[in-house]
Every structure is written in C-alpha cells, then in structure tokens.
Amino acid sequence: MAEPTMVGAGRSGQAAAHLILVLGAVVIAFPIWYVFVASTHSLQTILRPPLPMLPGSEGIANYSEALGGGINRIGGVSVGRLLWNTAFVATAIAVGKILISITSAYAIVFFRFPLRMVFFWLIFITLMLPVEVRILPTYKVMVDLGLIDTYAGLILPLIASATATLLFRQFFMTIPNELLEAARVDGAGPWRFFKDILLPLSATNIAALFVILFIYGWTQYLWPLLVTNSNSMNTIVIALRKMISFADADTPWHLVMVTCVLAILPPILVVVLMQRWFVKGLVETEK
C-alpha cells in the first residue's frame, strides 16, 4: 500500500509535505517570476498594480528596446558591455581563485619547506579579513596602485581565497601517500604529478568550486561599487542599482525589469544547469 516504510510519511503525510513544499517554492520563486512577468508588460501596466500573474504581450518589444539601446540611454553604457564586464570579472575571479589556491595548497601539502606553516596561517587568517572590514584602506591601496576603473582592480583583490585553499588542502590530504610514491617511482616529478594525477583527480572539486566562485564573482556589490567610477566599467548589478530611482517619475521601469532579468538569468542558469556540482561545492566547502 501507500505506507512506504514504518517511519516514512503516510499518504496524507506525503500530500501535506508536497503542499508545504509547493507553497515554499511559490514564495521563493515569486520575486523572480514577478520580475520576469514585469519585463513582458508595458510601463503603464507595471505602474498600475496589481500586476497580472502571467507574462504580457510586450515582451518582445521591451527586450528589443532594451537591447537596442534603451539601456544605453538610461545607464550610459550598452547592455552588452555590462554583461561582458560582469561575465569577464566573474570568470576571471573564479579561474584566478582556483589557480592560486590550487598551487598554494599543492605547495603546502606536497612539499616540506621552511616557513610552510607560517604561509599556511597567513593564508588562513585572510578568512577573517573580509573586504567589508577594511573598505577604506583597501580603496586607498587601489588608488595608489592606479587600479580604479580597471579590470585588474575589479578582479585581483577578490581572488585571494582561504576557503578555496583550505578545500584543496583538505582534498589533497585524502590522496593516499602511495599514489605519490608510485608516481615518483614511475618517474614523475612535481610538475608531472600535478598535471597528470592531481589535476585530473581534482576535476570535480574544481568544477564545484568554479560554480560557487562564478556566482560569488557575479554577485559582487560592495567592491565594484568602490573601484568603479566610470559607467563603462560597471557590472550589471551596479548599473541596475544606478537605474533605479523611485523618486524619479520618468524611470522606464519596463527596461529596468529587462535589465534585472538579464542580471539574474546567467547565474541562475549556471546554478540550475550545474546543480550537481553546485550542491557539492556548496556543501563541501562549508563556506
């Protein structure tokens, strides 16, 4: 019958659970659904609440207006440029973090050298220095180094990550000693071992971390806010913030909604399509 196991939920319990989950999913998905629906209605419909619950007929018109220069008019920079900035920065942060973390974890786990533990702690302690607690002095460093309004300025300070280093370190320590010894007997030096053995074995960890870090990069806010003055260096999140003004009666909300959809769609796609790695990365990095 429907009773699956003694301690599992019965038929009515199942139904109740599904009901609560559907409710939860609706609440969670609603804001995203709303902005998508809004992006397909005319400005007049948006300004006259409540908004219909289903997409309207203005979708194509809104999107072509937005992509064909509409966003350029309100944000001062093309949507292509914004998406490119954000995608480039997010990818560079993810790749950069993985690169410098995997090499430093490799050194710390597979070599013995003076100051090894000092370096480990220096990296570890950066966990406790998030950008939020050193806003102004970090900004000053950026000014001194001439990194304001540059990609390097957007990327470099965010690619040092104790979290990724710790994850790789933890993973490397589970690799049996004998694998390294077998490789040494097989004539593999440090570089060959890294390239032929460690890197392939880390593939799923790298994929998982990439998803998490890409999202991290894409959703950055405080840092891009600080180091960019020029509109052309904005990420799409910052640009969106600049477009919104509730005091301004002329805000073209339908275009704002389109921009919003464009700003959240890529990371949502990454998370949903790479769900397996995303969940693994999230739960295993333990942040």
Residues 6+ apart with CB under 8 A from 283: none
Closer of 61 and 268 to other proteins (Cβ):
268
User: Is 133 near other proteins (CB under 8 A)?
Assistant: yes
- Residues 167-186 binding other proteins (CB under 8 A) are 173, 176-186
Out of 3, 29, 80, 195, name the contact with other proteins by CB under 8 A.
29
Task: Determine, following the binding rule CB under 8 A, whether residue 219 of this chain makes contact with other proteins.
Answer: yes
Among 3, 34, 61, 151, interactor with other proteins by CB under 8 A: 34
Q: Would you call 21 exposed, middle or buried from its count of C-beta atoms within 10 A (0-12, 13-18, 19+)?
A: exposed
d(CA 89, CA 94): 9
* Near other proteins by CB under 8 A: residue from 67, 95, 135, 207: 135
* Residue 166 found at the interface with other proteins (CB under 8 A): no
CA 110 to chain centre: 30
Helix (H, G, I), strand (E, B) or coil at 260: helix
Residue 152 binds to other proteins (criterion: CB under 8 A):
no
Compute the residue count for the chain.
Answer: 287
Cα 222 from Cα 234, distance rounded (Å): 12
Q: Which residues inside 87-116 make contact with other proteins, applying CB under 8 A?
A: 99-101, 103-104, 106-113, 116
d(CA 35, CA 261): 7
Determine the size of the site formed for other proteins (CB under 8 A): 119
By the rule CB under 8 A, 1 interacts with other proteins:
no
Contacting residue, 35, 87, 148, 207, with other proteins by CB under 8 A: 35
The one among 14, 57, 230, 245 contacting other proteins by CB under 8 A:
14
User: Which pair of tokens denotes residue 121?
Assistant: 């702690």
Least distance to other proteins, CB of residue 239, Å? 11
- Is residue 255 near other proteins by the rule CB under 8 A? no
Burial annotation 94-108 (CB, 10 A radius, 16+ → b, else e): bbbbbebbbebbbeb
**Least CB distance from residue 69 to other proteins, whole Å?**
23
Closest CA to 58 of 32, 84, 39, 82: 39
- Of residues 258 through 287, those in contact with other proteins by CB under 8 A are 260, 263-264, 267-268, 270-272, 275, 278-279, 282-284, 286-287
Q: In this structure, which amino acid lies at residue 163?
A: T
Closer to other proteins by Cβ: residue 68 or 102:
102
* 61, 117, 141, 143: which one binds other proteins (CB under 8 A): 141
Q: Which two tokens stand for residue 71?
A: 């966003």
